[in-house]
Homo-oligomer: A and B are copies of this chain.
């Protein structure tokens, strides 16, 4: 989409210095600005770039004083940084929610209910009795299973698979290739060494304002529900097993895995490549460092844990600093042994 600088200034309640009719279609960093892009200057460190940038326009504060001749146009606003952020959000929202209607061929079972202002991309599939609220965007090649419910304005990105009976709240984003509600990993060992599949008949419930990352997998509950609570943000390639519960506003970084039936509290921060064993409870406001292994419940709120078998982060780092010189530690013992 293209805008004139006049239109942008109007959105930002600012003033154009230069060509009001120049057009921009992209947001650029000031040091990488190209024709057709609009940048911002809020940090003095970057001031020198404004004289060389090829961006069509730069958003600056009302008080910005030029020291050389400019090649670019200016849009003056009260606060350049928040002006740019405002533009960024408007742009991002427009890109994500601009679509409506159906791209054919798309498949929707006649029993599915579709709200107003929804979008269904080509090769998307919607199963029986699915309920899709107003403003939901179902991108290309998405799969929505039978009886799935999706709340208002949620975006399901290309190729995500939402399996049968999943419930997703409003204003969520499910990123490409994520799979919500695949079977939990449940097998009962038999006397002859084989395994019998334990039917997984539960579902996944995702509350409002949740983000699920690309190619992340969230398994349905064996019975009952795997639950991701309001405002939780989950990164790419994360594994969340059956019957797990993730608390409100908890953030989980990439490639972390959470085993079956574990309950994570609210406002936790879990870094990347962490592994958490099954049937644990992690208290609210827990912080877990990258690559940590958690094998017991965390009872105290606000703990900060780290380590291969996680412990208090400071203690782990103290032990690890000695581990790094363990051969010199052993030499000191040898020395003592000689002298005894």
Residues of chain A at the chain B interface (Cβ within 8 Å): 27-29, 32, 88-89, 91-93, 95, 103, 105, 107, 121-123, 125, 140-141, 143, 145, 157-159, 161, 163-164, 173, 175-177, 179, 182-183, 185, 187, 193-195, 197, 199-201, 209, 211, 213-215, 217, 219, 223-224, 231, 233, 235-237, 239, 241, 248-249, 251, 253-255, 257, 259, 266-267, 272-273, 275, 277, 290-291, 293, 308-309, 311, 315-316, 318-320, 322-327, 329-330, 332-333, 336-337, 339-340
Contacts and interface: CB of A to CB of B under 8 A. Distances in A.
B179 A183 contact: no
A212 to B, nearest CB: 11
Interface centre among A92, A105, A239, A253 (most CB of B within 10 A): A239
B107 A125 contact: no
Contacts of A329: 322, 329-330, 333
Contacts of A209: 194
Given A275-B290, A326-B322, A201 B236 contact: no
A28 B200 CA distance: 12
Nearest to A239: B254
Contacts of A224: 29, 32
Contact of A91 (B107, B201, B257): B201
A327 B199 CA distance: 45
A145 B158 CA distance: 9
Contact of A177 (B177, B235, B290, B319): B177
8 contacts: A125-B140, A177-B215, A182-B213, A193-B248, A237-B237, A257-B272, A315-B327, A322-B326
